[in-house]
Amino acid sequence: MESSQIENRPLVSGRFKLSDSDRKFELFNPATMERVALVYEAGADDVNITVKSAVQAFDSWSTPLSVQMGGL
């Protein structure tokens, strides 16, 4: 697998964003030990933004309207 095939930026609210950190680490295929990607390490701000986004998404998805539930 080519490293360029894997997105290496944090995914937040359905969008890839630039990481607050310039630090990167390598990901390896455990079966072959082949390097498959070089990805950004999430910093504290990245984590806080991601958690806030997840909480907002959970709140909107966990309380669907009865009309919406009836359509399922």
Higher per-residue confidence, 31 vs 4: 31
Distance CA 12, CA 48 (A): 10
Residue 31 lies in a domain: yes
**In the prediction, which pLDDT does 8 show?**
77
CA angle 7, 12, 71 (to 5 degrees): 110
Distance CA 54, CA 69 (A): 21
Residue 57 lies in a domain: no
Residue 61 lies in a domain: no
Residue 22 lies in a domain: yes
**In the prediction, which pLDDT does 52 show?**
92
Residue 26's domain comprises: 1-52
Please state the domain count of the chain.
Answer: 1
pTM summary value: 0.57
Residue 69 lies in a domain: no
Q: Which two tokens stand for residue 52?
A: 């806030």
Rg (CA), the chain: 17
Tell me the average pLDDT across 23-33. Answer: 93
